[in-house]
């Protein structure tokens, strides 16, 4: 849920969402005027030559592969009492074992899976809600815009994390997909604001008028004419939501409101603290999960900066 500040140079739209609304001209609509989709090869060309994009995506993909393929090579399940308790990292147990002799590496690999699942689902839900509301509010205007704007502002001010605590505590959210769903439902408002501002500035362009004259429906116009002009921006928004969901889920898991039927990186930290790994000096138990999250989310952010440079030729260091 940490957002806004990590947006990049040409798009201060996320953190200072309010500013953009007043000065639609100040923020150039992303890749406006370019033929959508036609420059995919050019984008790829610059993406592969941008060290930030390359390093960021390599780190994220490496963790993803470890999460997907890792379980095939493991000899123990995450909760199995596999070996001697409190063993430091060794050839048998690359990340050591817990106080109960569980394999930390097995837990880490299983936790990576939940982490990516939460990011994908939570980020996806938030992106769909935020973009839909943003597009409709920005394009339709009038009363609908007022209402949606009100809704956005209310959800924006409610501390989402607090509501998530209540929901998880009462409704007993005990599976990773459900947790992700709820996280998504409370993290869309800044997306809606930013997308609305961008849509407002696109609405009065000639090609939109033309589409309207030809009689196609609102949904089609949004999908075929408005959205393609901000694909790059929407993709970067999704990357931020992905990272934000991971961090929120880790906090919830750490409080003990995480999934009970799955392992997660936040839950690992919860158990490490609960069974006083700090005082026993079992650093191999609590360093990997946090480091994993930091590297995944940090790489996503850095990748986003690189992507910004790819999509905005002005920013490239030439």
What's the rounded Cα separation, in Å, for the pair 66 and 287?
17
Q: How far is the CB of 91 from another protein (least distance, A)?
A: 25
10: Cβ contacts below 8 Å, ≥ 6 apart: 27, 28, 30, 308, 312, 314, 315
Q: Looking at beta carbons only, is 28 or 83 nearer to another protein? A: 28
Q: How far is the CB of 222 from another protein (least distance, A)?
A: 23
Q: Looking at beta carbons only, is 72 or 157 nearer to another protein? A: 157
Q: Looking at beta carbons only, is 70 or 256 nearer to another protein? A: 256
Q: Looking at beta carbons only, is 22 or 206 nearer to another protein? A: 22
Q: Looking at beta carbons only, is 208 or 271 nearer to another protein? A: 271
Q: How far is the CB of 305 from another protein (least distance, A)?
A: 8
Q: How far is the CB of 10 from another protein (least distance, A)?
A: 7
Q: Looking at beta carbons only, is 191 or 227 nearer to another protein? A: 191
With tokens 């090869």, the residue in question is 41
Q: How far is the CB of 240 from another protein (least distance, A)?
A: 11
What's the rounded Cα separation, in Å, for the pair 253 and 265?
8
Q: How far is the CB of 220 from another protein (least distance, A)?
A: 30
Q: How far is the CB of 23 from another protein (least distance, A)?
A: 9
DSSP bridge partners of 97: 103
Q: How far is the CB of 306 from another protein (least distance, A)?
A: 11
Q: Looking at beta carbons only, is 3 or 113 nearer to another protein? A: 3
Q: Looking at beta carbons only, is 82 or 247 nearer to another protein? A: 247
What's the rounded Cα separation, in Å, for the pair 199 and 273?
47
Q: How far is the CB of 260 from another protein (least distance, A)?
A: 13
What 3 state SS string does the chain have? CCCCCCCCCCCCCCCCHHHHHHCCCCCCCCCCCCCCCCCHHHHHHHHHCCHHHHHHHHHHHHHHHHHHHHHHHCCCCCCCCCCCCCCCCCCCCCCCECCCCCEHHHHHHHHHHHHHHHHHHHHHHHHHHHHHHHHHHHHHCHHHHHHHHHHHHHHHHCCHHHHHHHHHHHHCCCCHHHHHHHHHHCCCHHHHHHHHHHHHHHHCCHHHHHHHHCCCCHHHHHHHHHHHHHHHHHHHHHHHHHHHHHHHHHHHHHHCCCCCCCCCHHHHHHHHHHCCHHHHCCHHHHHHHHHHHHHHHHHHHHHHHHHHHHHCHHHCCC
Q: Looking at beta carbons only, is 222 or 282 nearer to another protein? A: 282
């Amino acid at each position: 849920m940490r957002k806004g500040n990590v947006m990049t140079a040409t798009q201060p739209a996320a953190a200072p969402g309010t500013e953009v609304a007043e000065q639609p001209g100040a923020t150039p609509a992303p890749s406006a005027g370019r033929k959508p989709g036609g420059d995919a090869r050019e984008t790829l060309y610059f993406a592969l030559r941008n060290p930030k994009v390359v390093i960021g995506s390599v780190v994220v993909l490496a963790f993803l592969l470890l999460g997907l393929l890792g379980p095939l090579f493991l000899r123990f399940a995450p909760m199995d009492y596999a070996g001697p308790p409190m063993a430091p990292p060794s050839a048998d147990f690359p990340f050591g074992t817990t106080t109960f002799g569980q394999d930390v590496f097995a837990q880490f690999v299983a936790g990576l899976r939940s982490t990516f699942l939460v990011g994908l689902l939570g980020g996806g839900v938030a992106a769909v809600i935020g973009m839909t509301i943003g597009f409709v509010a920005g394009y339709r205007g009038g009363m609908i815009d007022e209402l949606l704007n009100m809704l956005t502002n209310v959800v924006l001010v409610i501390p989402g994390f607090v509501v998530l605590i209540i929901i998880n505590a009462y409704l007993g959210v005990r599976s990773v997909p459900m947790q992700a769903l709820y996280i998504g439902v409370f993290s869309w408002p800044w997306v809606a604001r930013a997308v609305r501002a961008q849509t407002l500035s696109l609405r009065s362009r000639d090609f939109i008028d033309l589409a309207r004259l030809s009689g196609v429906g609102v949904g089609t116009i949004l999908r075929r004419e408005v959205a393609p002009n901000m694909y790059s921006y929407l993709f970067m928004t999704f990357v931020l939501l992905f990272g934000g969901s991971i961090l929120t889920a880790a906090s919830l898991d750490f409080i003990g409101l995480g999934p009970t039927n799955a392992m997660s990186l936040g839950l690992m930290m919860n158990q490490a603290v609960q069974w006083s790994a700090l005082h026993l000096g079992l650093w191999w138990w609590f360093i990997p999960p946090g480091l994993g999250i930091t590297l995944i989310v940090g790489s996503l952010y850095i990748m986003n900066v690189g992507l910004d440079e790819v999509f905005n030729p002005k920013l490239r260091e030439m």
